[in-house]
Structure 1
Amino acid sequence: MGMKNLAQIVLVTVVQFIACYLAEWGVAETGIILLFVLLWQGLFIWLFIQIRKKNNIS
């Protein structure tokens, strides 16, 4: 993973954290949502990397 991908994951996670904080969600709910966001972002980035490898795209 490149720095661009890590920056994307961090940005999306921070935005989601702010949304949970503003909605006054509890710590448990916020943690579950942030974990789900991290897993989801990681899955899509991994899929895009696999597609690039298959298609030999830099």
Structure 2
Amino acid sequence: MDTTLSEPTQSPGSRKGRPNHNPEFRRRLAKAACEPGVSIARLARENGLNANL
């Protein structure tokens, strides 16, 4: 059985095991969170984040 594991691609200074989301993703979520009537907890869950982030 031949299994090849790829090395994780991390940028310098990133912390292992913690996501480092790109700025566009962050901007999009911040803009969505500012919309009237949006549930921040639901928005976080839908995007795979913890609501306290």
TM-score (norm 2): 0.38
Rg bigger for which structure? 2
The structure richer in helix per residue is 1
Higher RCO (Cα < 8 Å, 6 or more apart): 1
